[in-house]
Amino acid sequence: MSEIDYSFGDYDDSPESGDNRTEYRLTASAKVTLELESPAPGDAGDSAERALVSRTSDLSAKGIRIATPEPFTKGAILPAWVSLDEVSEPFRLMVEVVWCRPADAGSWLVGLQILESDETAYLEWVEAVARAMSEG
């Protein structure tokens, strides 16, 4: 049994809330790193990579909600690395921005859908979330 509390989220799921998830969410803490810009292929370090690091407490096998200091474009597809507190290696995933709305004091809430992709740790991620739910 894990010492980390992975309890189910109890968010407002009414149609007016804009929350369209079809799966249970965990209120687990996770670090999310999104690659916003990557170096051009063949560059020998001349181009800088730009990444955004955020924490979330709202995630499921197919989605993550994060708070960011800048808005994201709906439909953008980004590489992401998600680190669960009890797993040593981050999960390399591809995510799509499905919604973005203003939050408090110049921040934004962003909904990310995790995409199934051959080049990522998608299956390992789904298994890790399932394990966390069964322990909760």
Query: Quick check: helix, strand or coil at residue 65?
Result: strand
The count of residues in the chain is: 136
Q: Compute the average pLDDT of residues 40-59.
A: 75
Tell me what pLDDT residue 56 has. 87
Using 50, 70 and 90 to split pLDDT, how confident is the model at 112? very high
Tell me what pLDDT residue 49 has. 76
Residue 16 has pLDDT above 70, yes or no: no
DSSP H helical segments within the chain, as ranges? 122-135
Tell me what pLDDT residue 129 has. 86
Q: Please state the pTM of the whole predicted model.
A: 0.75
Question: Looking at the chain, which runs of residues are DSSP E strands?
Answer: 30-37, 50-56, 63-68, 77-84, 91-102, 108-115
Q: How far is CA 55 from CA 14, 86, 132, in A?
A: 25, 15, 17
Tell me what pLDDT residue 70 has. 92
Residue 15 has pLDDT above 50, yes or no: no
Ordered by where they begin, the domains of the chain are 15-38+48-135 (2.40.10.220)
Residue 31 has pLDDT above 70, yes or no: yes
The values of phi and psi at residue 111, to 5°, are -100, 125
Query: Quick check: helix, strand or coil at residue 25?
Result: coil
DSSP H helical segments within 13-136, as ranges? 122-135
Q: Compute the average pLDDT of residues 68-79.
A: 94
